Amino acid sequence: MHSNRARFLVALFAALCLLAFAVACSKSADDEADGTDAGGDDSAEVATLTPYKPSGQEGSITGTISFTGAAPAPKPISMDADPFCASASPDAHAEDIVVNGDKLANVLVYIKDGKAGDKNIASLKFDPPAEAAKLDQHGCHYVPHVQGVQVNQQFDIVNSDQTAHNVNVDAKQNEKFNQGQSPGAAAITKQFKRAETVIPIKCNQHPWMRAYVGVLPHPFFAVTDKDGHFEIKGVPPGTYTVVAWHEKYQQGQTQTITVGASEKKETTFSFSSQQLTAEYADGGVLRMLPALEMPMLGEHH
Amino acid sequence: MAETPDTDKLVRREADAPALDPITSRSTSAILLVSALLLTGVLIWSLYDEVYGMRPWKGYQQSYAKRFDRYLKRLQKRGFKSEEEVRKSDEYLRLDAEARAAREQARPKQSEIDGQVKLIDAQLTAISDEFQNRRGRITVASYNVETAADKNKPNLRHNVEQMKAQKSVVYIPTDAEAAHKEKKELTFNELESKYLSLKDEKGRLLGEKGELVKPASDLEKQRDDYLKNNVTEVTEQQVRLLRASAENFDFGMKQINVKGEMIVDRCESCHLGIRSPITIRPADMMPAGRGRRSRPDMLARAFASHPDTELLRIHDPEKFGCSSCHWGNGRATTSIEKGHGENRFWIHPLFAKENAEAGCNQCHSNDRVLQGATTLNQGKDLFYQRGCVGCHRYEGFDRETDALTNTRQLVKQLQDEVTANEHDAKVARADSAAPGVSDERAAQLLARAEALIVTNSQIEARIDQLNTQSRFLMQDQKKVGPNLKDARLKLRKEWIPEWLKDPQAFRPGTKMPTFWYLSGKPDASMGNIVPVSQQDDERKAIAAYIWQSSFDGQLPAQQPGDAKHGEELFKTRGCLACHSIGEGDQKIGGEFAANLTKVGQKENYNYVVRWVHNPRERWAPYCPKEKRDLTPEDYRKNGKEFVFDTTKHTRCPNDGAELQVQNMTVMPNFRLSDADARDIATYLVSLTPPAEYPDASFMDNTALASKGKNLIKQYGCAGCHEISGFEEEQRIGKELTAEGATPLERLDFARMTRLAEEGEQPNSANQEDKQGSGGKEGSGTKEGKQAKPWYNHKGFFEHKLADPGIYDSGKEKDPREHLRMPKPFLKEEWKTALTTLLLGSVGPDGANVPAALFYEPNNQQKDIQDGWWVVKKYNCMGCHSVQVGQKSVLYGLPQYQQGGTFGDIQLGPEQLPPGLMTEGARVDPNWLLRFLCDPSLSNGNKECVSLGGNVGGAAGTPGAATTETGQGRGDMSNRQSGPGDGGAQPHTGAGQTQTGVNQSQSGSLVMGGLKPQPGENRNGVRTYLRVRMPTFNFSPNELRTLARFFLAVSAQQEPYIKQELEPLSDSERDLARSLFTSQAAPCLKCHMTGDATHDQTATAPNFLQAGQRLKQDWTFRWLLDPQRIMPGTAMPSQLFKRDGERWVFNGPLPPSAADYQGDHARLLVRYLLSLTPEEQARARSTVPARAPAPSGTQAGHVASHRQGGGEPRTPAARAAQSVSRLFARRARRIQISSRARPLRWRAREARWRQSALSKRWRQSAAAARGRARDFSP
């Protein structure tokens, strides 16, 4: 009978083991992980940006942008529709392509992405500069024609003309607005909350008036002057994708540039007139359109 | 020999061993052990099942509670940045300060009241016990009086009186702390009055207190609302509360139980976050620790909140449950599969995520467009646009044809009734005259006869109505495919069999499905059911019938046009909203209509010209009564001209039946001039080089044609095409209205059943046969998930759509009985959309939603749905954005992006057609009717003029006249604004006039010529747009439907009664004019004035139309903030600023504004809507005068502007205007004739002419103004 009792005990033991096993198995991943996690968990999905601190080793990117091929003659603008404009800028020309010799002005050069040391530049946080960026309506032109601003930087639009303008900002990622500004009216003050290259601005009353504002999350951008020269200052050492954007070359040009410690890196971009005509002819990228686009009501992603 | 040997008997039996005692010798312990083990096992099993097995949700719930709490903790740790910001904002601080101040102010008085109340409370406490006791006793005593015998009553009454008179001692406190008390002796009545007066006093004080703190609490509420409305993320308080409630998480079954509707859903036992007050995304619920960066696991996805909270708000889960919409087994909780109803025998399995909107269709099957259900809507679009409706009936689709059939039937019935009534009346009259009929009876009979006759006249009125209806319905009836009666006129003969062979090869993506059984290729996957030779024969026969049955005639030859100008027109007039051009990557444009790249390879140029010029122009009218197309001979016989149109000549000359007088196409008429039509056609034809096709002389074989006729019937070609002899053909496919409710076993998977059940893909099996590999990327599966059984509705539909013949494969059957459904071109997402529609097509009986919850649209909702049918039918959304958030096809084209151009032409977003989101609120519906009828507003169509009610009726009034002149010039500017317009074509000038003459002379005799075009080259409102609103030839039915649609969408009342415009006083007008012309808002800089030079750069409509067109309230709102109505509009905002209750102009104010106390925006609205041409001229003349004097040449320009702006209304001035218009027209003609010359020459010439012209024009205008001045006082 001994053997039987032993067998029974073994069976009971086995059963208990089974039970224990079942209980153990049911302990979920949530429990075990919770202990390790309970301390400092700074949200899994919210990307936190590290504030950027200059190290003193900053370099810069400088260069010139040249234009090859025959530069198109600047198109004269007829400002007859508004007598003020006609008198203020008697000999006005379009600013879409400003070429001086073989140098191209009004090109926005900016760092698109890349790594500053071991940190991705997108993971760094740059405070907006204290001084405001300014867009002036002067002589029925926007001054400056092309500029870069930083995210959340104050952006003042002033009208120094003796005629009314309206500022139609056709942003895609930022809030769009269209406000009239009469002579002497107070400055319109805005901020762009998101990076967006490049936002076109126009005046519907003076259709030739166009300006372009590139909104960038960092201060590493510059616009070429009339000699096609630019300088991006204070660039932390690293390897970057640098884009040169021009209103007639919406795709822009891209280069990968490595900046060493305190290095003044020289580079050049070149736009050609041939490319221009090609882009003109296509009217940009052609693509097939869906019959209809309707956003889903309250879709959250 | 089988007997028993005797010897056996001799064998001695051994003595029996003593029987073993079962109790001692046998042991049952083994059995017991086994049983015990079993029992333990079962116990453990049952315990396990109790805790985990049957209740998997328990584990999930624990997991949820932990994950959710962790998420909330994370939120708290992250801080509430936006809340902090709002708390620091000036507005919040202001409100907070005000609220505090108000609170503070009320405090002394409040505490005083509080003290009084406290005292009263103390006093009440002191007497209430005594009072209530005594009242109780007295009530009892009174009751005793009532029930007592009469003789005892006086005695008892006396007792009661005594009780009342008895004095009781109460100690009433004199201060709130009850430190001092006053002793009082009170009778019951005194006690009662004291008690009541205290109560009253307390109520009064509390009311006073409420009044007192009201301002403060109002301000506090304002402050809290401000916080709530401005905080974009969750607030700290919310999270705190949630955490508190999460700590007491109630583990257990969560169930929705709607008793009346038999809904029991336990889905939320696992999907715990579905209705969470704060949004939970799957990423928020990721398991902690490991794998933080990986994708959310299954549980995280299950715990997320519903993706559409708005949807849940409308469809409260407490009322609808979950499984009503999503399907699945709402009661099952033992496993995920069971809960989701993924079981062969559960008839409502959960809809797959991509098909989730199928559930919506259960209740919303009659909605053409369901807000938010993108996939379902697309399914419905495709069902209609891709021609499914040609073969398959689906309730609601193809409404005109259904309605037409009904109407005709009804007319027939009513006509029979009329005949019967006539007969009965006759009988009654005869009976009344019969001998022996009493007078009374005779009178009765005669009255009856009379009644019958009158009834008949009523019926006849109804028949008239129905006949009109049937005309409208015929006008609105469209076909998906082109009219094949035109085959001979239109197509290259040899191309037809090539096309039939494989339409996708010729035009990728075309609507025409591939009739694989005509392709002439063996199809192994379908077991070669139709032999190749038979396929070839059938194709030839069909081609032969189409060719031989179509109209025979000669189209007038057209001169070639200018392809470059044609391209410009094609790409700027709006053709791309429906049509695409280019192939592969180069493809651009919409998908609503055909890709036109290869038109030149199939079509006859003369036909294309005619089609582009007016696609509705039919070759010959069709008579449904005689069931044939009429010929000029029919007309001649009856002495009538061979003229047929949608308005006057709709009846058959032979028998008066309503005719089909249009091509049944949705393509509208763009009111192109003859030359423009030729240019576009030339461009289209020039896109591809001519092609060669094999000889097709067999198409003239008549024997083949009669065979083809049977085949056309068999394959249902007439579902989509108009084909001679098949006008009344019925659909050949299965009705799909309730296809999703078909029991699974009735869906014939045929030999696919096994594969479907095992989850194998049919084509992968084939590929394995051929190559032995590559089964994985079978085209049918998207996810590549293997071995997922598809023996369900979804699988059936998806595979059928991908390969309609699939369920024939491997079958032995007669070739004539093969499945006939052709293979449509469908993108993957289209298949999903159509599957969604089919899954949701369950009819009222198949729905899982209780019938009581079905959506029943009310009046305006119904108007909206009716309207959607029309809007979708004509693809209005190709050009307009009709719905908030919807982007038109044109919107996406590169030339309409910011700064977009086409060649030298500036386009960009300003050149997009207007958005129609608020159209019903914007425009006068009467005007809208007229505009929709004739978008050129040219008064060229008589029936449209009368439509506009007061608008059309006022043809002689100044208003109407101005519209016309305005357009006259707008038209001109339209012409001029297109640099290529009237472009380079050598001999059109002469050719055009000649054909024109031809037409007008011979009129009806020449068939197929280009007819005059009312409103040619005119845009009605926005003449500055290059895109043109075409004429759709809507029937009055559709016009009404559309007008009602727009009204309903904007919640406007119907019928519309125009708001009276308050007339302006002189001073008001002066002020309004100075605002109108203010430097801060120079309206006329962008808005058209009717002056051609000015309008070249205009980007907004003419104000002269505003009075008829716009509604006051809308215009007011528009002036205040146009961006709210149409984001991205060229009209700037912030023209007015708030000043107390009124809006004041936001700019330098003229001195006269100081006296005006009214609302400036309202004033401007009144000014705009009552603007007359003289007033406009006056306003214009003030503008340049203010500007600094321009230099030299520009002065001249300005002067001409100013003069051009004058729009005098006096007769003399009008004459002058017509003269100037004449000049302009002449200039146009000159331009046309100069087309051939080199560009530079032309430019120079034009400049010269313009200056000469403007000089002449200026002179005549000046003269006119002079005369006008004489007329005016």
Question: In this predicted model, what pLDDT tens digit does every residue of B735-791 receive, in sequence order?
Answer: 999 999 999 989 999 888 888 888 888 865 444 443 333 333 444 444 444 568 899
Of residues A243, A239, A242, A235, the one with CA closest to residue A263: A235
Weakest mean pLDDT among B29-33, B626-630, B988-992: B988-992
Reported confidence tier of residue B7, pLDDT bands at 50, 70, 90: low
**pLDDT tens profile B663-697:** 999 999 999 999 999 999 999 999 999 889 999 99
Higher pLDDT, A74 or B1028: B1028
Contact A294 B377 (CB under 8 A): yes
> Taking CB atoms and an 8 Å cutoff, what residues of chain A touch B586?
286
Contact A182 B1190 (CB under 8 A): no
Look up the pTM and report it: 0.78
Residue B980 has pLDDT above 50, yes or no: no
Element housing A268 (H / E): strand A264-272
Q: pLDDT over 90 for what percent of chain B?
A: 43
Contact B374 A287 (CB under 8 A): no
Reported confidence tier of residue B1236, pLDDT bands at 50, 70, 90: very low
Mean pLDDT of B108-119: 90
Mean pLDDT of B1242-1265: 50
Determine the residue among B887, B1194, B1197, B1200 to mutate to test chain A binding: the one whose Cβ has the most chain A Cβ atoms within 10 Å. B1194
Contact A41 B585 (CB under 8 A): no
Q: For residue B646, what pLDDT is reported?
A: 87
Beta strands A59-68 and A229-235 are antiparallel
Amino acid at B408: R
Contact B1097 A290 (CB under 8 A): no
Weakest mean pLDDT among B97-101, B556-560, B1193-1197: B1193-1197
Q: If 0-12 CB within 10 Å is exposed, 13-18 middle and 19+ buried, where does residue A281 land?
A: exposed
Contact A296 B59 (CB under 8 A): no
Q: Looking at the complex, report in whole angstroms how far the Cα of residue A125 sits from the nearest Cα belonging to chain B.
A: 17
Residue A237 DSSP label: S
Contact B286 A44 (CB under 8 A): yes
Residue of A nearest to B40 (CA): A15
Contact A299 B1197 (CB under 8 A): no
Contact A290 B1197 (CB under 8 A): no
Contact B1189 A287 (CB under 8 A): no
Q: For residue A277, what pLDDT is reported?
A: 54
For B1173, half-sphere exposure in the C-beta direction (CA atoms, 13 angstrom radius) is 26
Beta strands A59-68 and A264-272 are parallel
Contact A204 B1086 (CB under 8 A): yes
Residue B1096 DSSP label: T
Mean pLDDT of B716-729: 92
Q: Looking at the complex, report in whole angstroms how far the Cα of residue B63 sits from the nearest Cα belonging to chain A.
A: 6
A200 closest CB neighbour out of B372, B587, B899: B899
> Taking CB atoms and an 8 Å cutoff, what residues of chain A touch B899?
200, 202, 210, 247
Q: For residue B770, what pLDDT is reported?
A: 39
Determine what percent of chain B falls in helix, strand and coil, rounding each to the nearest 5. Answer: 60, 5, 35
Contact B1132 A4 (CB under 8 A): no
Mean pLDDT of B190-210: 91
Residue of B nearest to A186 (CA): B1147
Q: Looking at the complex, report in whole angstroms how far the Cα of residue B868 sits from the nearest Cα belonging to chain A.
A: 14
Mean pLDDT of B219-233: 87
Mean pLDDT of B482-490: 94
Mean pLDDT of chain B: 83
Contact A30 B63 (CB under 8 A): yes
B1197 closest CB neighbour out of A80, A176, A299: A80
Contact A41 B77 (CB under 8 A): yes
Mean pLDDT of B566-585: 93
> Taking CB atoms and an 8 Å cutoff, what residues of chain B touch A45?
281, 283-284, 286
Residue B618 has pLDDT above 80, yes or no: yes
Residue B388 has pLDDT above 90, yes or no: yes
Q: For residue A17, what pLDDT is reported?
A: 65
Direct distance between the N- and C-terminal alpha carbons of chain A, in angstroms, rounded to an integer: 70
Q: Looking at the complex, report in whole angstroms how far the Cα of residue A222 sits from the nearest Cα belonging to chain B.
A: 23
Q: Give dist(CA B879, CA B886) in Å, integer.
A: 11
Burial pattern B809-836, b for ≥16 Cβ within 10 A else e, equals beeeeeeeebbebbbbbbeeebbbbbbb
Reported confidence tier of residue B455, pLDDT bands at 50, 70, 90: very high
| Strand spans (E) along B918-961 | none
Q: Is the backbone of residue B18 left (phi > 0), alpha (psi -120 to 50) or beta?
A: beta
Q: Looking at the complex, report in whole angstroms how far the Cα of residue A97 sits from the nearest Cα belonging to chain B.
A: 14
Maximum CA pair distance of chain B? 165
pLDDT tens track of chain A, all 301 residues?
Answer: 455 677 777 777 777 766 666 655 554 445 444 433 333 333 344 456 788 888 888 899 999 999 888 888 888 888 877 888 888 888 888 888 888 888 899 999 999 989 888 888 888 889 999 999 999 999 899 999 999 999 999 999 999 988 888 899 988 888 888 888 888 888 999 999 999 988 999 888 888 898 999 999 999 999 999 889 999 999 999 999 999 999 888 788 899 999 988 889 899 998 888 776 554 444 433 333 443 333 333 334 4
Q: Give dist(CA B375, CA B360) in Å, integer.
A: 11
Among B253-267, B976-990, B1005-1019, B1229-1243, name the most confident range: B253-267
Weakest mean pLDDT among A218-232, B78-92, B383-397, B1215-1229: B1215-1229
Cβ distance A69 to A273 under 8 Å? yes
CA B475: distance to chain centroid?
23
**pLDDT tens profile B1071-1117:** 999 889 887 778 888 888 888 877 877 888 999 989 989 999 999 99
Q: Looking at the complex, report in whole angstroms how far the Cα of residue A116 sits from the nearest Cα belonging to chain B.
A: 23
Mean pLDDT of B709-720: 93
Residue B168 has pLDDT above 70, yes or no: yes
- With a CB cutoff of 8 Å and minimum separation 6, the contacts of B798 are B780, B790, B831, B835
Residue B651 DSSP label: B
Residue B39 has pLDDT above 60, yes or no: yes
Reported confidence tier of residue B370, pLDDT bands at 50, 70, 90: very high
Contact B1190 A185 (CB under 8 A): no
**pLDDT tens profile A60-90:** 999 999 988 888 888 888 887 788 888 888 8
Beta carbon pairs, A and B, within 8 Å: 253
Copy the structure tokens of residue B454. Answer: 């009158």
Cβ distance B1108 to B927 under 8 Å? yes
Reported confidence tier of residue B870, pLDDT bands at 50, 70, 90: very high
Q: Looking at the complex, report in whole angstroms how far the Cα of residue A218 sits from the nearest Cα belonging to chain B.
A: 22
Residue B1232 has pLDDT above 90, yes or no: no
A179 closest CB neighbour out of B59, B877, B1133: B1133
Of residues B239, B766, B777, B825, the one with CA closest to residue B513: B825
Q: For residue B965, what pLDDT is reported?
A: 35
> Taking CB atoms and an 8 Å cutoff, what residues of chain B touch A4?
27, 29-30, 33
Reported confidence tier of residue B637, pLDDT bands at 50, 70, 90: very high
Contact A182 B1148 (CB under 8 A): yes
Q: Give dist(CA B622, CA B617) in Å, integer.
A: 13
3-state class (DSSP) for residue B594: coil
ipTM of the predicted structure? 0.70
A33 closest CB neighbour out of B36, B47, B288: B288
Residue B1106 CB coordination number (10 Å): 18
**pLDDT tens profile B741-752:** 999 989 999 888
Higher pLDDT, B188 or B836: B836
Q: For residue B837, what pLDDT is reported?
A: 96
B372 closest CB neighbour out of A176, A291, A296: A296
Higher pLDDT, A194 or B1253: A194
DSSP letter string, B442-483: HHHHHHHHHHHHHHHHHHHHHHHHHHHHHHHHHHH---SS-B
B337: phi then psi, degrees, rounded to nearest 5: -60, -45
Cβ distance B239 to B75 under 8 Å? yes
Q: Looking at the complex, report in whole angstroms how far the Cα of residue A220 sits from the nearest Cα belonging to chain B.
A: 26
Contact B1187 A33 (CB under 8 A): no
Residue B1234 has pLDDT above 50, yes or no: no
Contact A41 B1128 (CB under 8 A): no
Please name the residue ranges forming H helices in B27-89.
29-48, 56-78, 81-88
DSSP letter string, B763-787: HHHHHHHHHS---TT-TT-SS--TT
Residue of A nearest to B28 (CA): A4
Beta strands across the sheet bearing B617-623: B628-629, B617-623, B660-662
The torsion defined by the Cα of B187, B188, B194 and B199, in degrees rounded to 10, comes to 170
Contact A170 B74 (CB under 8 A): no
B1099 closest CB neighbour out of A84, A162, A204: A204
3-state class (DSSP) for residue B304: coil
Q: For residue B863, what pLDDT is reported?
A: 94
Residue of A nearest to B1184 (CA): A83
Where do we find the tokens 């019928």?
Answer: B1055
Weakest mean pLDDT among B174-178, B416-420, B838-842, B1261-1265: B1261-1265
Residue B453 has pLDDT above 90, yes or no: yes
Copy the structure tokens of residue B944. Answer: 């449209």
> Taking CB atoms and an 8 Å cutoff, what residues of chain A touch B910?
204
Determine the residue among B23, B26, B31, B33 to mutate to test chain A binding: the one whose Cβ has the most chain A Cβ atoms within 10 Å. B33
Amino acid at B132: Q
Direct distance between the N- and C-terminal alpha carbons of chain B, in angstroms, rounded to an integer: 156
